């Protein structure tokens, strides 16, 4: 079974802090994604990566950046955290050949105070 | 703008009865649809999918129906079990796109 691991289950940060959310997958998937989940808004794509060092903006990239230095690891960076970035963050991965079957991590609940 | 909509935020059903979860979409270019289930403190897990060339796909107790003319899909769970209690998200993909568009989710509660 595919395992997508997010480094933290809960995080509390202060406004203006730089925040790193880490995600690791163990199935050699080419594609990795970062979503945020908010009540009433569903899952919205922040960034995705289809290969090492490659990235594409999703629907809501503002205030975020990403890093993919190794195939198994995809990091989401909040350069200067703000209260409106308080959310559940979900990492997902997918094989390049699979038809959109995403495998998700358990999520990181980030609170920015 | 929400391209995939789940207008019912919650649904309660008695154990053994049918659960019907609905999803509407606006983009006629979507060619593939999926349902994901999410338990608290876990990530969403894939449940069932359907291509736009079909109108029905069945997997055990779960059946997804697609009505392209109405831009509507539904997930039927028969019979419903307490373990089905979760949030269900529908998602859609555009042709050639990398991205999935997710609905806002419906919380299903199956009452024993």
CA dihedral for A14, A73, B45, B40, sign (positive or negative): negative
Looking at the complex, does the CB of residue A65 fall below 8 Å from at least one CB of chain B? no
pLDDT per residue as tens digits for the range B17-67: 999 999 999 998 898 999 999 998 889 999 999 999 999 999 999 999 999
pLDDT range class, residue A97, cuts 50, 70, 90: low
Farthest CA pair distance, chain A? 41
pLDDT per residue as tens digits for the range A14-37: 999 999 999 999 989 999 999 999
Report d(CA A29, CA A49) in Å as an integer: 10
The pair of three-digit structure tokens given for residue B62, joined into one six-digit string: 């779960």
Average pLDDT score over residue span B61-85: 97
Report d(CA B90, CA B15) in Å as an integer: 22
* Residue A72, strand partner residues: none
Whether the per-residue pLDDT at B74 is higher than 60: the answer is: yes
Q: Which residues of B touch A43 (CB under 8 A)?
A: 44, 89, 91, 102
With CB atoms and an 8 Å threshold, state whether A99 touches B103. no
Q: A17 near A111, Cβ under 8 Å? A: no
The larger pLDDT score, comparing residue A30 to residue A99, is at: A30
Q: List the one residue out of B24, B39, B22 whose CA is nearest residue B77.
A: B22
pLDDT per residue as tens digits for the range A42-70: 899 999 998 898 999 988 999 999 999 99
Interface mutation target, options B98, B101, B107, chain A, most CBs of A under 10 Å: B98
Q: What is the mean pLDDT of chain A?
A: 92
A-contacting residues in B 37-96 (Cβ below 8 Å) = 41-46, 49, 89, 91, 93
Q: List the one residue out of B92, B89, B109 whose CA is nearest residue B101.
A: B92
Report d(CA A30, CA A71) in Å as an integer: 7
| Rg of chain A taking only CA atoms, in angstroms | 13
pLDDT range class, residue B6, cuts 50, 70, 90: very high
Average pLDDT score over residue span A69-98: 92
Looking at the complex, does the CB of residue A96 fall below 8 Å from at least one CB of chain B? no
Candidate from A47-56, A80-89, B97-106 with smallest mean pLDDT: B97-106
Whether the per-residue pLDDT at A98 is higher than 60: the answer is: no
**How far away is chain B from the Cα of A39, in angstroms, using its nearest Cα?**
8
């Amino acid at each position: 079974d595919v395992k997508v691991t997010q480094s933290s289950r809960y995080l509390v940060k202060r406004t203006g802090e730089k925040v790193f959310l880490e995600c690791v997958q163990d199935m050699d998937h080419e594609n990795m994604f970062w979503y945020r989940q908010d009540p009433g808004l569903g899952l919205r794509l922040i960034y995705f990566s289809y290969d090492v060092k490659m990235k594409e903006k999703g629907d809501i990239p503002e205030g975020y950046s990403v890093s993919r230095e190794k195939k198994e690891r995809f990091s989401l960076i909040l350069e200067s955290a703000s209260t409106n970035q308080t959310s559940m963050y979900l990492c997902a991965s997918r094989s390049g050949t699979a038809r959109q079957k995403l495998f998700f991590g358990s999520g990181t609940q980030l609170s920015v105070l | 703008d929400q391209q995939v909509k789940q207008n019912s935020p919650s649904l309660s059903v008695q154990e053994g009865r049918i659960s019907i979860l609905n999803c509407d979409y606006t983009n006629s270019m979507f060619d593939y649809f999926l349902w994901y289930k999410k338990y608290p403190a876990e990530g969403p897990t894939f449940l069932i999918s359907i291509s736009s060339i079909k109108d029905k796909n069945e997997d055990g107790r779960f059946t997804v129906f697609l009505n392209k003319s109405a831009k509507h899909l539904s997930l039927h769970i028969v019979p419903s079990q307490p373990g089905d209690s979760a949030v269900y998200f529908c998602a859609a993909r555009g042709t050639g796109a990398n991205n999935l568009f997710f609905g806002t989710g419906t919380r299903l509660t199956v009452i024993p």
